[in-house]
Amino acid sequence: MAIEFYKYQGTGNDFIIVDNRNDKFPKNNTKLIAHMCDRKFGIGADGLILLENHDTADFNMVYYNSDGNLSSMCGNGGRCITHFAKFLGIIENQAVFEAIDGMHESSVDAETISLRMNDVNSLQVNGASIYLNTGSPHHVTLVDDLTVFDVFNEGKRIRTSIYGEEGANVNFVEKVSESVFAVRTYERGVEDETLSCGTGVTAVALAMHETMNTTSEEITLKTPGGELKVRFIKTENGYTDIYLIGPAIQVFKGIWE
């Protein structure tokens, strides 16, 4: 079976996206998905996304990690699939879609995509680290000299030793200025550092505000793959009106046979 796919990237977080409105993609074939995502023997990607029909929304988003397993919400993936939906003519400049963590709104302005994330009402501060869920579970820790920090080994250790088999994504952060932070992320499912993580930088922005490392409600996050912005409103119950903002770019299309 030939599978038409599109390769996307959002600040270096890269995805294979497939239009599955005909429901023909073999969704339970974990080995196939992992093979397609393999950087040596496949297309190469941090994950695979299916765009599917939805009864009431513009579309449904199904996301798989590069290990072939269904995953929690992917923020950069949500921005990329919005761009893809516009490319297909499903939407004009506004979208409402469903992902594994519920409904999302998004908008397109050229190659800049704004994605509304779900409200966050619980942040757990444990000494120097913060844990929260922004559609995916995230651990956030401030460090010095992020450029030489051992993200892979320390991220892998924290991912399993603190959070067990299910694990969590692990973000290491260095403050650049009042409203600018540098971020590097170890992602579960990928089991490696990625160039960017949308739910990760969202978690970092909220965690830095919660721990008074910033008072700004619009924060710039510098990742190895580029810059993202996170805008939000702090309330008595937590954080609302959370938007992840940044580029989404179609790189190429192809046929997998």
Cβ–Cβ < 8 Å for 130, 210: yes
| Catalytic residue flag (residue 37) | no
Active site residue: 74, 81, 208, 230, which one?
A: 74
The CA-atom distances, in angstroms, between 4 and each of 30, 38, 106, 118 are 18, 17, 25, 31
Which residues partner with 123 through β-bridges?
A: 132
Query: Are the CB atoms for 219 and 245 separated by under 8 Å?
Result: no
197 carries an active-site annotation: yes
Kindly state the helix (H) or strand (E) to which residue 218 belongs, with its residue range. strand 218-223
- Spell 85-96 as b/e; 16+ CB within 10 A means b: bbbeebbeeebe
Three-state DSSP class for residue 71:
coil
Distance (Å, whole) CA 66 – CA 188: 10
Residue 56 burial (CB count, 10 A): 7
Backbone angles phi, psi at 71, to 5 degrees: -130, 175
**Which residue among 62, 197, 219, 248 is the active-site one?**
197
Alpha helices in 123-197 (DSSP H): 151-161
Residue 256 DSSP class: E
Six-digit token pair at 106? 């998004």
Six token digits for residue 158: 């924290």
Cβ-based neighbour number of residue 41 at 10 Å: 10
Active-site residue list: 74, 197
